[in-house]
Amino acid sequence: MTQNTKLLSPKELSEAANIIKSGGIVGFPTETVYGLGGNALDPQAVRSIFAAKGRPADNPLIVHLSDFSEAEMYACDIPETAYRLADTFCPGPFTIVLKKKNIIPEVTSGGLDTVGIRVPANNITRKFISLCGTPIAAPSANLSGSPSPTCARHVLDDMDGRIPAVIDGGDCPVGVESTVVCLEENTVKILRPGFVSREDIAAAGFEVTCAAGVTEKLPDGERALSPGMKYKHYAPKADVTILEGSTEKFVGYLNSHLSDNCCAMIFGDMPKELPCPVIDCGRTSEEQARRLFSALREADEIGVDKAYASCPDRQGVGLAVYNRLLRAAAFKVVRL
Ligand code: TXA
Ligand code: MG
Protein backbone atom coordinates (compact mmCIF):
# COMPACT_ATOMS: atom_id res chain seq x y z
CA MET A 1 0.00 0.00 0.00
CA THR A 2 1.40 3.44 -0.82
CA GLN A 3 1.89 5.82 2.03
CA ASN A 4 0.55 9.32 1.47
CA THR A 5 1.62 10.98 4.72
CA LYS A 6 5.29 11.94 4.73
CA LEU A 7 7.47 10.60 7.55
CA LEU A 8 9.93 13.32 8.62
CA SER A 9 13.03 12.78 10.75
CA PRO A 10 13.78 15.05 13.73
CA LYS A 11 16.40 16.64 11.44
CA GLU A 12 13.59 17.93 9.23
CA LEU A 13 11.80 20.05 11.85
CA SER A 14 11.94 23.16 9.67
CA GLU A 15 9.98 21.36 6.93
CA ALA A 16 7.36 20.41 9.55
CA ALA A 17 7.31 23.99 10.90
CA ASN A 18 6.78 25.34 7.36
CA ILE A 19 3.64 23.20 7.04
CA ILE A 20 2.32 24.73 10.30
CA LYS A 21 3.25 28.26 9.17
CA SER A 22 1.26 27.81 5.97
CA GLY A 23 -1.84 26.73 7.91
CA GLY A 24 -1.35 22.96 7.73
CA ILE A 25 -1.27 20.26 10.44
CA VAL A 26 1.49 17.83 11.42
CA GLY A 27 1.84 14.74 13.64
CA PHE A 28 4.63 15.13 16.20
CA PRO A 29 6.15 13.20 19.11
CA THR A 30 5.94 14.26 22.75
CA GLU A 31 7.08 12.43 25.88
CA THR A 32 3.49 11.25 26.48
CA VAL A 33 1.84 10.35 23.15
CA TYR A 34 2.01 11.70 19.57
CA GLY A 35 0.09 14.91 18.98
CA LEU A 36 -1.64 16.28 15.88
CA GLY A 37 -0.65 19.94 15.82
CA GLY A 38 -1.71 23.12 14.11
CA ASN A 39 -1.51 26.87 14.79
CA ALA A 40 -3.69 27.33 17.91
CA LEU A 41 -4.51 30.93 16.85
CA ASP A 42 -5.77 29.95 13.37
CA PRO A 43 -9.39 28.71 13.45
CA GLN A 44 -9.05 27.13 9.99
CA ALA A 45 -5.99 25.07 10.99
CA VAL A 46 -7.73 23.99 14.20
CA ARG A 47 -10.85 22.99 12.27
CA SER A 48 -8.74 20.73 10.07
CA ILE A 49 -7.41 18.97 13.21
CA PHE A 50 -11.00 18.25 14.32
CA ALA A 51 -11.85 17.05 10.79
CA ALA A 52 -8.80 14.74 10.46
CA LYS A 53 -9.63 13.08 13.81
CA GLY A 54 -13.40 13.09 13.52
CA ARG A 55 -13.41 14.77 16.94
CA PRO A 56 -16.56 16.23 18.56
CA ALA A 57 -16.42 20.06 18.42
CA ASP A 58 -17.13 20.46 22.16
CA ASN A 59 -13.85 18.76 23.15
CA PRO A 60 -11.18 21.46 23.65
CA LEU A 61 -7.58 21.16 22.48
CA ILE A 62 -4.52 21.61 24.69
CA VAL A 63 -2.28 24.53 23.67
CA HIS A 64 1.42 23.58 23.64
CA LEU A 65 4.12 26.17 24.35
CA SER A 66 7.93 25.96 24.36
CA ASP A 67 8.13 27.81 27.68
CA PHE A 68 5.56 28.47 30.44
CA SER A 69 6.49 32.18 30.51
CA GLU A 70 4.51 32.52 27.23
CA ALA A 71 1.30 31.46 29.04
CA GLU A 72 0.55 35.10 29.86
CA MET A 73 0.00 35.79 26.15
CA TYR A 74 -2.89 33.31 26.02
CA ALA A 75 -4.29 33.13 29.56
CA CYS A 76 -5.39 35.77 32.07
CA ASP A 77 -5.82 35.95 35.87
CA ILE A 78 -3.14 33.29 36.29
CA PRO A 79 -3.09 32.43 40.02
CA GLU A 80 0.15 32.24 41.96
CA THR A 81 -0.50 28.51 42.56
CA ALA A 82 -0.40 27.94 38.79
CA TYR A 83 3.09 29.46 38.62
CA ARG A 84 4.23 27.24 41.51
CA LEU A 85 2.77 24.18 39.75
CA ALA A 86 4.54 25.15 36.53
CA ASP A 87 7.83 25.60 38.43
CA THR A 88 7.47 22.05 39.74
CA PHE A 89 5.98 20.13 36.80
CA CYS A 90 6.71 22.07 33.58
CA PRO A 91 8.18 21.18 31.18
CA GLY A 92 6.55 17.78 31.61
CA PRO A 93 3.42 15.65 31.18
CA PHE A 94 1.25 18.25 32.90
CA THR A 95 -1.52 20.54 31.58
CA ILE A 96 -2.90 23.50 33.55
CA VAL A 97 -6.37 24.80 32.67
CA LEU A 98 -6.51 28.61 32.95
CA LYS A 99 -8.92 31.39 32.01
CA LYS A 100 -8.33 32.10 28.31
CA LYS A 101 -7.61 35.37 26.57
CA ASN A 102 -9.65 36.28 23.48
CA ILE A 103 -6.68 35.57 21.22
CA ILE A 104 -7.47 31.84 21.68
CA PRO A 105 -10.29 31.12 19.19
CA GLU A 106 -13.51 29.45 20.39
CA VAL A 107 -12.90 26.45 18.16
CA THR A 108 -9.59 25.76 19.96
CA SER A 109 -11.22 25.90 23.40
CA GLY A 110 -14.27 23.86 22.36
CA GLY A 111 -16.48 26.83 23.28
CA LEU A 112 -15.15 27.01 26.88
CA ASP A 113 -13.74 30.20 28.41
CA THR A 114 -10.63 28.34 29.54
CA VAL A 115 -7.48 27.02 27.87
CA GLY A 116 -5.27 24.06 28.80
CA ILE A 117 -1.58 25.00 28.66
CA ARG A 118 1.18 22.39 28.38
CA VAL A 119 4.96 22.63 27.91
CA PRO A 120 6.21 19.22 26.72
CA ALA A 121 9.41 17.76 28.21
CA ASN A 122 10.67 16.35 24.91
CA ASN A 123 13.44 18.56 23.42
CA ILE A 124 12.43 17.81 19.82
CA THR A 125 8.89 18.91 20.61
CA ARG A 126 9.92 22.21 22.19
CA LYS A 127 12.31 22.92 19.32
CA PHE A 128 9.51 22.20 16.83
CA ILE A 129 7.13 24.56 18.67
CA SER A 130 9.80 27.30 18.75
CA LEU A 131 10.40 26.94 15.01
CA CYS A 132 6.67 27.26 14.33
CA GLY A 133 6.70 30.64 16.10
CA THR A 134 3.13 30.12 17.32
CA PRO A 135 1.40 28.11 20.07
CA ILE A 136 0.48 24.62 18.87
CA ALA A 137 -3.01 23.25 19.49
CA ALA A 138 -2.82 19.48 19.57
CA PRO A 139 -4.94 16.54 20.61
CA SER A 140 -3.49 13.03 20.51
CA ALA A 141 -2.91 12.02 16.87
CA ASN A 142 -5.41 9.11 16.75
CA LEU A 143 -8.81 8.87 15.12
CA SER A 144 -11.35 10.03 17.69
CA GLY A 145 -12.22 7.13 20.02
CA SER A 146 -9.16 5.01 19.12
CA PRO A 147 -6.17 4.28 21.38
CA SER A 148 -3.65 7.16 21.47
CA PRO A 149 -0.53 6.71 19.32
CA THR A 150 2.79 6.05 21.07
CA CYS A 151 4.94 5.68 17.93
CA ALA A 152 4.92 7.17 14.42
CA ARG A 153 3.54 3.94 12.93
CA HIS A 154 0.41 4.22 15.11
CA VAL A 155 -0.10 7.74 13.71
CA LEU A 156 0.20 6.44 10.15
CA ASP A 157 -2.18 3.55 10.94
CA ASP A 158 -4.89 6.11 11.78
CA MET A 159 -3.93 9.19 9.78
CA ASP A 160 -2.20 8.09 6.57
CA GLY A 161 -3.58 10.21 3.74
CA ARG A 162 -5.45 12.50 6.18
CA ILE A 163 -2.45 14.68 7.17
CA PRO A 164 0.60 15.84 5.17
CA ALA A 165 3.37 14.71 7.55
CA VAL A 166 4.42 13.15 10.86
CA ILE A 167 7.75 13.68 12.64
CA ASP A 168 9.18 10.32 13.72
CA GLY A 169 10.66 10.72 17.20
CA GLY A 170 10.58 7.01 18.12
CA ASP A 171 8.58 5.46 20.97
CA CYS A 172 7.04 7.77 23.58
CA PRO A 173 8.75 7.13 26.94
CA VAL A 174 5.67 7.91 29.10
CA GLY A 175 2.91 6.33 27.03
CA VAL A 176 -0.18 7.92 28.64
CA GLU A 177 -1.29 11.52 28.14
CA SER A 178 -0.53 14.45 30.41
CA THR A 179 -2.24 15.04 33.74
CA VAL A 180 -4.89 17.77 33.21
CA VAL A 181 -5.59 19.98 36.24
CA CYS A 182 -7.54 23.11 37.06
CA LEU A 183 -7.41 25.25 40.18
CA GLU A 184 -10.21 25.81 42.65
CA GLU A 185 -8.89 28.49 45.00
CA ASN A 186 -5.56 26.93 46.00
CA THR A 187 -6.69 23.33 45.51
CA VAL A 188 -5.39 21.45 42.47
CA LYS A 189 -8.21 19.45 40.89
CA ILE A 190 -7.25 16.54 38.61
CA LEU A 191 -9.58 16.47 35.60
CA ARG A 192 -7.65 13.73 33.80
CA PRO A 193 -5.05 11.61 35.62
CA GLY A 194 -1.72 11.22 33.83
CA PHE A 195 1.93 10.52 34.42
CA VAL A 196 2.22 13.21 37.12
CA SER A 197 0.24 11.48 39.87
CA ARG A 198 -2.00 12.74 42.63
CA GLU A 199 0.72 11.52 45.04
CA ASP A 200 3.39 13.58 43.17
CA ILE A 201 1.27 16.73 43.41
CA ALA A 202 0.60 16.18 47.12
CA ALA A 203 4.30 15.43 47.78
CA ALA A 204 5.17 18.80 46.21
CA GLY A 205 3.06 20.47 48.91
CA PHE A 206 -0.22 21.18 47.07
CA GLU A 207 -3.78 20.43 48.20
CA VAL A 208 -5.14 18.01 45.59
CA THR A 209 -8.50 16.45 44.70
CA CYS A 210 -9.81 14.33 41.81
CA ALA A 211 -12.82 15.36 39.68
CA ALA A 212 -15.88 13.08 39.68
CA GLY A 213 -15.74 10.79 36.67
CA VAL A 214 -12.04 9.96 36.84
CA THR A 215 -12.56 6.42 38.11
CA GLU A 216 -16.25 5.91 37.44
CA LYS A 217 -18.83 6.81 34.80
CA LEU A 218 -20.50 10.16 35.38
CA PRO A 219 -24.25 9.90 35.94
CA ASP A 220 -26.15 10.60 32.68
CA GLY A 221 -26.68 14.30 32.15
CA GLU A 222 -23.83 15.38 34.46
CA ARG A 223 -21.31 17.74 32.85
CA ALA A 224 -17.70 16.53 32.61
CA LEU A 225 -15.21 19.23 33.65
CA SER A 226 -12.82 17.77 31.10
CA PRO A 227 -15.07 17.08 28.11
CA GLY A 228 -12.79 14.31 26.75
CA MET A 229 -13.48 12.22 29.87
CA LYS A 230 -17.16 11.68 29.08
CA TYR A 231 -16.66 9.56 25.97
CA LYS A 232 -16.01 5.86 25.39
CA HIS A 233 -12.46 6.28 24.26
CA TYR A 234 -9.08 4.66 23.63
CA ALA A 235 -10.98 1.57 22.48
CA PRO A 236 -9.84 -1.16 20.10
CA LYS A 237 -12.43 -2.86 17.87
CA ALA A 238 -12.51 -5.76 20.32
CA ASP A 239 -14.95 -5.58 23.20
CA VAL A 240 -12.88 -5.07 26.38
CA THR A 241 -13.99 -6.23 29.86
CA ILE A 242 -12.02 -5.57 33.05
CA LEU A 243 -12.06 -8.47 35.54
CA GLU A 244 -11.36 -7.33 39.10
CA GLY A 245 -10.31 -10.04 41.58
CA SER A 246 -7.62 -12.60 42.37
CA THR A 247 -5.50 -14.33 39.70
CA GLU A 248 -7.27 -17.65 40.45
CA LYS A 249 -10.70 -16.09 39.92
CA PHE A 250 -9.44 -14.37 36.73
CA VAL A 251 -8.32 -17.72 35.28
CA GLY A 252 -11.56 -19.38 36.44
CA TYR A 253 -13.67 -16.69 34.71
CA LEU A 254 -11.65 -17.00 31.50
CA ASN A 255 -12.09 -20.79 31.46
CA SER A 256 -15.85 -20.49 31.82
CA HIS A 257 -16.23 -17.64 29.27
CA LEU A 258 -13.79 -18.90 26.65
CA SER A 259 -14.61 -18.23 22.99
CA ASP A 260 -12.65 -18.89 19.76
CA ASN A 261 -11.78 -15.28 19.33
CA CYS A 262 -10.78 -13.89 22.72
CA CYS A 263 -7.54 -12.82 24.40
CA ALA A 264 -6.32 -11.91 27.88
CA MET A 265 -4.58 -8.62 28.69
CA ILE A 266 -2.49 -9.05 31.81
CA PHE A 267 -1.54 -6.10 34.03
CA GLY A 268 0.85 -7.32 36.73
CA ASP A 269 1.71 -10.90 37.59
CA MET A 270 1.25 -13.36 34.77
CA PRO A 271 -0.92 -16.40 35.58
CA LYS A 272 0.83 -19.69 34.73
CA GLU A 273 -1.64 -21.27 32.34
CA LEU A 274 -4.06 -19.25 30.30
CA PRO A 275 -6.44 -20.84 27.80
CA CYS A 276 -6.19 -18.08 25.12
CA PRO A 277 -3.65 -15.69 23.50
CA VAL A 278 -2.10 -13.29 26.02
CA ILE A 279 -0.98 -9.67 25.75
CA ASP A 280 1.57 -8.85 28.47
CA CYS A 281 0.82 -5.27 29.57
CA GLY A 282 3.73 -5.02 32.01
CA ARG A 283 4.47 -5.40 35.74
CA THR A 284 5.02 -1.91 37.16
CA SER A 285 2.54 0.92 36.64
CA GLU A 286 5.18 2.86 34.64
CA GLU A 287 5.65 -0.11 32.32
CA GLN A 288 1.87 -0.50 31.99
CA ALA A 289 1.54 3.20 31.09
CA ARG A 290 4.19 2.79 28.39
CA ARG A 291 2.56 -0.34 26.92
CA LEU A 292 -1.17 0.25 27.37
CA PHE A 293 -2.05 1.89 24.04
CA SER A 294 0.12 -0.41 21.91
CA ALA A 295 -1.41 -3.38 23.79
CA LEU A 296 -4.91 -2.15 22.86
CA ARG A 297 -3.81 -1.82 19.23
CA GLU A 298 -2.25 -5.29 19.39
CA ALA A 299 -5.65 -6.76 20.30
CA ASP A 300 -6.88 -5.51 16.91
CA GLU A 301 -3.80 -6.85 15.14
CA ILE A 302 -4.43 -10.33 16.58
CA GLY A 303 -8.00 -9.82 15.41
CA VAL A 304 -9.82 -10.83 18.61
CA ASP A 305 -13.40 -9.72 19.21
CA LYS A 306 -13.21 -10.02 23.00
CA ALA A 307 -10.41 -9.00 25.40
CA TYR A 308 -10.48 -9.79 29.12
CA ALA A 309 -8.16 -7.49 31.09
CA SER A 310 -6.90 -8.02 34.61
CA CYS A 311 -7.31 -4.93 36.79
CA PRO A 312 -4.29 -2.57 36.98
CA ASP A 313 -3.11 -1.27 40.33
CA ARG A 314 -4.44 2.27 40.88
CA GLN A 315 -1.57 3.82 42.83
CA GLY A 316 0.54 6.59 41.27
CA VAL A 317 0.51 6.54 37.47
CA GLY A 318 -1.61 3.35 37.79
CA LEU A 319 -4.65 5.63 38.20
CA ALA A 320 -4.08 6.95 34.65
CA VAL A 321 -3.71 3.40 33.32
CA TYR A 322 -6.97 2.36 35.02
CA ASN A 323 -8.76 5.52 33.84
CA ARG A 324 -7.84 4.85 30.16
CA LEU A 325 -8.54 1.10 30.35
CA LEU A 326 -11.94 1.80 31.92
CA ARG A 327 -12.89 3.97 28.92
CA ALA A 328 -11.49 1.42 26.46
CA ALA A 329 -13.84 -1.05 28.20
CA ALA A 330 -16.77 1.40 27.97
CA PHE A 331 -16.90 1.12 31.81
CA LYS A 332 -17.53 -2.67 31.80
CA VAL A 333 -15.99 -4.07 35.01
CA VAL A 334 -16.85 -7.51 36.41
CA ARG A 335 -16.08 -7.82 40.14
CA LEU A 336 -15.17 -11.48 40.65
O1 TXA B 1 -0.19 14.39 26.73
C2 TXA B 1 -1.12 15.03 26.21
O3 TXA B 1 -1.86 15.76 26.88
C4 TXA B 1 -1.32 14.87 24.70
C5 TXA B 1 -0.09 15.40 23.99
C6 TXA B 1 -0.25 15.41 22.49
O7 TXA B 1 0.23 16.66 24.48
N8 TXA B 1 -2.51 15.55 24.27
C9 TXA B 1 -3.76 15.07 24.52
O10 TXA B 1 -4.77 15.82 23.98
O11 TXA B 1 -3.95 14.07 25.17
P12 TXA B 1 -6.29 15.27 23.85
O13 TXA B 1 -6.98 16.31 23.08
O14 TXA B 1 -6.27 13.92 23.28
O15 TXA B 1 -6.81 15.30 25.31
C16 TXA B 1 -6.97 16.54 25.97
C17 TXA B 1 -7.85 16.37 27.18
C18 TXA B 1 -9.28 16.12 26.80
O19 TXA B 1 -9.85 15.24 27.76
C20 TXA B 1 -9.88 17.52 26.90
O21 TXA B 1 -11.27 17.48 27.16
C22 TXA B 1 -9.09 18.12 28.06
O23 TXA B 1 -7.79 17.60 27.92
N24 TXA B 1 -9.03 19.58 27.98
C25 TXA B 1 -8.37 20.34 27.07
N26 TXA B 1 -8.60 21.66 27.29
C27 TXA B 1 -9.41 21.73 28.37
C28 TXA B 1 -10.03 22.80 29.10
N29 TXA B 1 -9.88 24.07 28.73
N30 TXA B 1 -10.82 22.49 30.16
C31 TXA B 1 -10.99 21.19 30.53
N32 TXA B 1 -10.45 20.14 29.89
C33 TXA B 1 -9.67 20.40 28.83
MG1 MG C 1 -6.86 12.02 22.97
Which pTM value belongs to this model?
Answer: 0.96
Residue 215, pLDDT score = 77
Q: How many CA atoms lie within 13 A of 173 on its CB side?
A: 7
The one-letter code for the residue type at 282 is G
pLDDT tens digits, one per residue of 107-117: 999 999 999 99
Distances (CA, A) of 36 to 43, 53, 149, 279: 15, 9, 10, 28
Name all residues whose Cβ lies below 6 A of ligand 1: 30, 32-33, 35, 59-62, 93, 95, 97, 109, 112, 114-116, 118, 138-140, 177-178, 180, 191-192, 225-229
pLDDT at 162 over 70: yes
What's the chain's Rg over C-alpha atoms?
A: 20
Q: How many angstroms is it from 146 CA to the middle of ligand 2?
A: 8
Helices (H), 97-151: 123-132
Amino acid at 227: P
pLDDT tens for 30-51 read 999 999 999 999 999 999 999 9
61/37 Cα distance (integer angstroms): 10
The answer to whether residue 229 scores a pLDDT higher than 80 is no
**What is the Cα–Cα distance from 311 to 288, expressed in whole angstroms?**
11
DSSP state letter for 88: H
- Contact in structure between 98 and 78 (CB atoms under 8 Å): yes
User: In the prediction, which pLDDT does 224 show?
Assistant: 74
pLDDT of residue 154: 97
pLDDT above 90 (res 236): no
Q: What is the pLDDT, as a whole number, of residue 282?
A: 97
Quick one: pLDDT band at residue 2, thresholds 50, 70, 90? confident
Q: What is the mean pLDDT of residues 95-101?
A: 98
